Each structure stands twice: as C-alpha cells, then as structure tokens.
C-alpha cells in the first residue's frame, strides 16, 4: 500500500465469521474523524429511508482534517439498485459547508471482501468534498446524511439523537504533571488504528504494545502522546524512546530523527513524541512490512519525574566484569588534606576589573537565510522530468544542500490514476499505471539556516 492509497477506515480484516453484515432491512453507519486525534463517532442503526445526523466534538486543534467518512457494514451484492447515501452539508459550530457530491466517494477500495465507506475527506488520497477550515479544540462538527433505497422507504425515520458532546480538556482531569501523567501509544496503518494508555508516576523503563490486525507495507503513524503541557515539566525531565520490537526482533530508534514537540503551542497542545509520520516523511526506526498478528512493542525510558527514582526497572544486561566483595582501595578515616579555618585567598572589597558600560562584544546582525537547492537525478543525470512506460517503475534520487526533510505535494485525484508515486529515503519511486502526465512539487522545509524551496517534477507515462 502506498502513501496515496485511499485508506478506508472502519474495516477490520478479520475472518468472515466475526463480521456482522448489514442488509437493506438494517445496517450501521459510523462517523470516522481523523486529524491530530483519531476517533470513531456515533454508530447509528439505519432501518429505513430518511435523514440522519452525526455529531462529533473535537478535543485538539489541527490545521487539516485528514479523514471524514462513514463506515458501513454493507457489502457488494446486498444493496438495492436504487440505494444511495449522500451528505448534504458539514456544519462546524454555526458555519455551514456544502458537500460537493461529485467529489465524495462511495466504494469498497476495489475489494469485494471490504465493506462500503462513504468518504467526504481523505487527506492521503487527495479527496476533499467539503473544504473545511482549521479546526479548534471544542469545535462541534455535525454531518447530515440522506439515505434512500432501503426496503423500508415508506416512512421517515425518527430524528436521530445527537451524541453527548465530548468534554474539553480540563485542568484537573486531562492535564498531567510530574507526579502523574499519561502516555498513549498510537499506531496507525491502513485500516488498523488503535491507542493504548499507561499512567506514569515515577522514573523507569516502560513498554506499550499493539497487535496488528492487517498486513501493511509500512506504518503511517507511530507516536507516544502525553497529556503534558507547557509549564508542567521539570527542567531535567526527559522521555527517551529506545526501540520497537516486532515479535522477537528489536529495531533501535534514532532519537535524533524522532520529534518531541507540541506543534508550537505549549498552552493548547500537549507534548507528543513522533516516531513515524509517513505524511511528514519522518521515520526514526526502519521497520519491515507488518503482517496481521505481528506484536509490536515500543520501549521507552522516563527520567525527571517528582519520584526522583532513576530507572526503577533495571534492564537485563549481564555485567562484563565480576564484582568484587572487597574494596579495591583501602578505606581511610583521615581526610586527604588538613582542614583550615582561614580562607586561602585574602578577600577584597574592590572589583578586580574596572566595570564598563559598553558591551564587550559588538551585537551581531541577524543573518539572512541561504538559498536552498533541490537536486533531482535519474542515475547520474540531473533532471526535472522522467518518462516511464505503463506497468514499469523508475527510481530517481533527490537531495538538498540544506539536508532538510522533503515532501511531495500537488498531486490531484485524477493524476493518482496515472502513476503511483512514493517518496521514501530520499528516493522517488514512480510506477506507471496508464498513459498520461503527472506534475507535482518536491518541497524542502525551511531550516534555521536555509530557506524553504520547491521544485516541480513532471512524470510522463507512455
């Protein structure tokens, strides 16, 4: 599965015996919301035609909604010919956003074993039928859908009750401190999204685990989320992610690549340790493909809580030198130097250096950022375009003089059907799907010394 695959949430690739399939007499629809937070909203049982309302209250700020969809338990072959689900609008607080039905998608990702999902927003697939603005914590999102073509289309359904609003974080309940806080492991890949929480009250070594529910080529998101906010951390507090173990194989985490931050807002956003973020091209641990049933365990250390205990869980490491029961140096009860009551240096009340009102170093001018150069090579040749035959693949290397992280943007839904494009480890892999042209931007982020830059790349599929 590649970065631009249309991810369909709500599908659990379990055996058919575990699946409850709906029909035209009764089926379920679940609102799926995904951004900084990943949650399933209300599940509504639908037994007849009519309008149904779903509501979700956000708990975090986010610049972009990555997922807004309705997962159903309807499968191919059980729907009436005239059956349809359509969304009329999305309301954020008091602002109404009309849904462009021509951009929404009702499908099962091309697999008959998958249930159907009605998708309004899919940030990875370039699908957006709504055009929402930035979302703030506490915003109330209301989506109204219309269902027609069920077996019971003679009566209008009863008005669906709005779910209770999600409570906004409060100082007493949701915010942690150095006496007690929460760490939550969040794993996300394809249809498999889950979180696991652990209360931390003292220094030590901890682990959190997840068992994969489906096969994936790579993990989209792997984070350690906390409820710690700016001002609640001791100056010497530190979380250190160490490794990810898959079954019996341990993979070390590169702490220089992993990111500990609060998205630039210490008041509103809690701190998160991001280990993998495929959309931001961040990968601090090189993991293999994940298989259904794999057990994934993240190990990390916490130091600097108010417990003042240094790593209470002792790691299982065998000492290389046998300890001695006798001291190697004879103890002494006498001090090594005779004590003195007199100061070794005569104190003075006069300054040793004449004070000056002028600065000792001239203030420096603010340095200007350097220009960033993005280099794209096909083999040893610098290029800005590449030609690939249908069914074939090509690999081009990319780099910058700033060593900043690179990302891809500007690929349309139509272009995704022409070529499969993945950026990984400073290489762009292009696979031709059908004849056509794809144009996208390769973006280099701004650093402390280099400017942000972008380069347009053209892919021709012959």
Q: 381-395: per-residue pLDDT in tens?
A: 999 899 999 999 999
Strand pairing report for 385-388 and 453-461: parallel
pLDDT on residue 459: 92
The structural architecture, per CATH, of the domain 374-461 is Sandwich (2.60)
Which pLDDT score is estimated for 96?
87
Q: Whose CA is closest to 243, among 187, 298, 288?
A: 298
Long-range contact set of residues 262-266: C-beta below 8 Å, sequence gap at least 24: 262/229, 262/230, 263/36, 263/61, 265/61, 266/229, 266/230, 266/231
For 123, the token pair is: 């940030």
Task: For residue 212, give every residue at least 6 positions away whose Cβ sits within 8 Å of its Cβ, in sequence order, or none.
Answer: 189, 192, 290, 291, 292, 293, 294, 295, 296
Handedness of CA 328, 331, 332, 338 (dihedral sign): positive
pLDDT, tens digit, 9 for 90 and up, residues 415-460: 888 998 888 888 898 999 999 999 988 888 888 888 888 899 999 9
Contact 29, 71 (CB under 8 A): yes
Residue 244: is its pLDDT beyond 50? yes
pLDDT digits (tens, 9 = 90+) for 316-365: 333 333 444 444 444 444 444 444 444 444 444 444 444 445 444 445 45
**For the chain, what are the domain ranges?**
16-148, 181-303, 374-461
Over 50: is that where the pLDDT of 257 sits? Answer: yes
Question: Where residue 147 falls among pLDDT bands split at 50, 70, 90?
Answer: very high
Report the C-alpha gap between 443 and 453 in whole angstroms: 6
In percent, the amount of the chain with pLDDT more than 90 equals: 33
Residue 19: the pLDDT is 66
Output the pTM of the full model: 0.37
Residue with token string 């929480």:
197
Q: Which of 240-244, 257-261, 262-266 has the lowest mean pLDDT?
A: 262-266
């Amino acid at each position: 599965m590649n970065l631009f695959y249309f991810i369909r949430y709500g599908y659990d690739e379990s055996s058919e015996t575990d699946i409850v399939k709906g029909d035209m007499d009764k089926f379920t629809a679940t609102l799926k919301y995904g951004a900084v937070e990943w949650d399933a909203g209300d599940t509504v049982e639908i037994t007849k035609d009519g309008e149904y309302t779903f509501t979700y209250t956000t708990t975090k700020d986010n610049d972009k909604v990555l997922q807004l969809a309705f997962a159903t338990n309807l499968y191919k072959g059980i729907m009436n010919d005239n059956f349809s689900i359509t969304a009329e609008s999305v309301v954020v607080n008091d602002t109404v956003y009309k849904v462009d039905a021509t951009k929404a998608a009702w499908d099962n990702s091309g697999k008959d074993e998958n249930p159907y999902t009605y998708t309004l927003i899919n940030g990875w697939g370039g699908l957006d039928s709504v055009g929402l603005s930035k979302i703030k914590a506490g915003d109330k999102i209301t989506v109204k859908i219309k269902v027609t073509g069920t077996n019971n289309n003679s009566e209008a359904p009863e008005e669906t009750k709005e779910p209770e609003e999600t409570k906004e974080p409060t100082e007493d309940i949701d915010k942690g401190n150095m006496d007690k806080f929460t760490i939550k492991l969040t794993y996300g890949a394809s249809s498999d999204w889950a979180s696991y929480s652990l209360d931390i009250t003292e220094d030590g070594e901890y682990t959190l685990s997840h068992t994969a529910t489906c096969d994936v080529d790579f993990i989209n998101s792997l984070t350690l989320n906390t409820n710690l906010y700016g001002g609640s951390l001791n100056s010497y507090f530190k979380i250190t992610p160490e490794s990810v173990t898959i079954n019996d194989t341990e993979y070390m985490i590169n702490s220089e690549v992993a990111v500990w931050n609060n998205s630039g807002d210490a008041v509103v956003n809690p701190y998160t340790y991001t280990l993998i973020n495929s959309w931001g091209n961040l990968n601090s641990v090189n993991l293999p493909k994940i298989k259904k049933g794999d057990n994934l365990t993240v190990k990390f250390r916490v130091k600097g809580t108010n417990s003042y205990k240094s790593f209470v869980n002792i790691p299982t490491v065998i000492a290389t030198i046998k300890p001695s029961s006798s001291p190697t140096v004879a103890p002494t009860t006498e001090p090594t130097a005779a004590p003195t009551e007199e100061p070794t240096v005569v104190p003075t009340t006069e300054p040793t250096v004449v004070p000056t009102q002028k600065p000792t170093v001239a203030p420096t001018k603010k340095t200007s950022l350097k220009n960033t150069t993005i280099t794209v090579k096909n083999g040893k040749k610098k290029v800005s375009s590449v030609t690939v035959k249908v069914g074939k693949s090509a690999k081009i290397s990319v780099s910058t003089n700033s060593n900043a992280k690179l990302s891809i943007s500007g690929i349309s839904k139509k272009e995704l059907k022409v070529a499969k494009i993945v950026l990984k480890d400073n290489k762009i892999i292009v696979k031709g799907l059908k004849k056509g042209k794809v144009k996208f931007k390769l973006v280099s982020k701004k650093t402390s010394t280099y400017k942000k830059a972008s380069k347009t790349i053209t892919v021709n599929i012959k």
